[in-house]
Amino acid sequence: MRRTSRLVLLLGVFLAALVFVVILLSSNKGGGQTGTPAATAPTQLPTVVAVSDIPLGTIVTAEMLTTRTLAVNLRETSVYGDPSQAVGKTTRKAIVAGAQVHSSDFQNRAVPLTVPTGRRAMTIAVNELTGVGNLLDVGDTVDLIISLRGDAFPVVQVLKDGTVTVVSGINPLSIKLPLLLQDVQIIGVINPPPPPAPAAAQGQPAPSRAPEFTEPQSKLLILAVTPAQAEVLLFARTTGVLDAILRSPLDAGQTAETTGVILKTLVDTYGVLPPEIVQVPIPTPLK
């Protein structure tokens, strides 16, 4: 009886240990499966494709595009995945039917530019003196004034023999015409490059830049003008000096009537004193 009891006791201990090991192994195996499963990369993605040929310079509409699901290894670089990314953009290269549509197919100007319908983009140069301290920016509206020298209006004389000669020395001062163009919008700005940093001597730290007066730097304004205004600007910028004056946004669509100013206007209306001839006696030479 004693030997049988011992065998039963040993068998019970062995079974208990076996059950413990099985439970431990089961818990470890289940623990490796707990938590969020690892995400797998998609093998297929939506891809924007041209339905028909899209010529160069076309504004893309939704009807020109469709979406296909392609394997990742078949999708090209920088291709769009949703038609809304391309709708409304202007093509900078022709896109053939069935081709994938890329971001590089559209305008990628260094200066973003959108020309309003019925307008033309034209550039003028201004500086700190002619462009409101170079503070003009995209979206501003300006009026344009032209300044001309008196020799732009030469005085001529018809001689007895019918020939025409220019009379020099008359009215050499500048003449300022009335406002040339009004309510013109700026749709782009190209700023001048920054001045180069002062060079340092070998083995010495770079010197700090001290404030200095330099020649005004030109800044380019891209204006939205009508074809007729473009002709006026082209003639004006080759014959005189253009100034851009900033308008208030509340004055949109309004124009002002001006008469312009010449030297006579300054004398008669604003009290500017004209120069007078001063007679200087010539000394009598000593005998």
Residue 6 maps to a domain: no
Q: What is the Cα–Cα distance from 1 to 4, expressed in whole angstroms?
A: 5
Residue 162 maps to a domain: yes
50 and 181 assigned to the same domain: no
Retrieve residue 287's tokens: 């005998």
Percent of the chain with pLDDT over 70: 76
146 and 91 assigned to the same domain: no
CB atoms closer than 10 angstroms to residue 187: 22
CB atoms closer than 10 angstroms to residue 237: 16
Residue 23 maps to a domain: no
59 and 179 assigned to the same domain: no
Condensed to tens digits (0 to 9), the pLDDT of residues 237-284 reads 888 889 999 999 899 888 888 888 887 888 888 888 887 878 888 887
Range of the domain at 125: 120-193+216-270
233 and 260 assigned to the same domain: yes
Query: Is this structure's pTM higher than 0.85?
Result: no
Q: What is the Cα–Cα distance from 21 to 19, expressed in whole angstroms?
A: 5
- Tokens 């490796």 belong to residue: 32
Q: What is the Cα–Cα distance from 185 to 224, expressed in whole angstroms?
A: 6
Average pLDDT over residues 92-110: 90
Tell me what the pLDDT averaged over the chain comes to. Answer: 82
Condensed to tens digits (0 to 9), the pLDDT of residues 26-65 reads 666 555 555 556 668 888 999 999 999 999 999 999 999 9
Q: Would you state the pLDDT for residue 8?
A: 66
161 and 229 assigned to the same domain: yes
Single out the residue in 55, 77, 105 at which a domain terminates.
Answer: 105
CA-CA distances (angstroms) from residue 51 to 90, 93, 104, 108, 239? 16, 16, 18, 23, 51
The yes-or-no verdict on residue 107 having pLDDT over 90 is no
CA-CA distances (angstroms) from residue 21 to 9, 14, 32? 19, 11, 17
Q: What is the Cα–Cα distance from 62 to 111, expressed in whole angstroms?
A: 26
Retrieve residue 202's tokens: 């070998």
The yes-or-no verdict on residue 161 having pLDDT over 90 is no
Say which residues have a Cβ less than 8 Å from residue 118's Cβ, sequence separation at least 6: 226
Is the Cα dihedral 58, 60, 65, 70 positive or negative? positive
137 and 181 assigned to the same domain: yes
CA-CA distances (angstroms) from residue 81 to 48, 65, 226, 256? 5, 11, 38, 51
Please count the structural domains in the chain.
2
